[in-house]
Amino acid sequence: ETGVTQTPRHLVMGMTNKKSLKCEQHLGHNAMYWYKQSAKKPLELMFVYNFKEQTENNSVPSRFSPECPNSSHLFLHLHTLQPEDSALYLCASSQGGFTDTQYFGPGTRLTVL
């Protein structure tokens, strides 16, 4: 498999549930990112990881918890979400710095009931 993959593609969860989004990149990149895209809004950067170290947390609520066990895998753990957290969550990777071309996964469409 090549590129950036994300699972699941769709997720519906209640506000009391705990779930995790998974991202895997097969590009040999060193940096990975989580973005949120709400309806009719541009991408919002959530987290940045470089060589497994979190370098940016863009003021994201603590109900979103990222995990990067290695440079190929990135998780986003979700708990006690709110309906306004419903959005498309996109994972991306790049070779090195933030302004290197970022390759995106297909996204997870999350609906919080």
Partner 1 sequence: EDKVVQSPLSLVVHEGDTVTLNCSYEVTNFRSLLWYKQEKKAPTFLFMLTSSGIEKKSGRLSSILDKKELFSILNITATQTGDSAVYLCAVPIQMDSNYQLIWGAGTKLIIKP
Judged by CB under 8 A, how many residues of this single chain contact partner 1? 19
Within 14-43, the residues that bind partner 1 by CB under 8 A are 42-43
Is residue 98 a contact point for partner 1 (CB under 8 A)?
A: yes
In sequence order, the β-bridge partners of residue 56 are 48
Nearer to partner 1, 25 or 81 (CB): 25
Q: For residue 18, give both structure tokens.
A: 């705990």
Out of 45, 71, 79, 86, point to the residue binding partner 1 (CB under 8 A). Answer: 45
d(CA 74, CA 10): 17
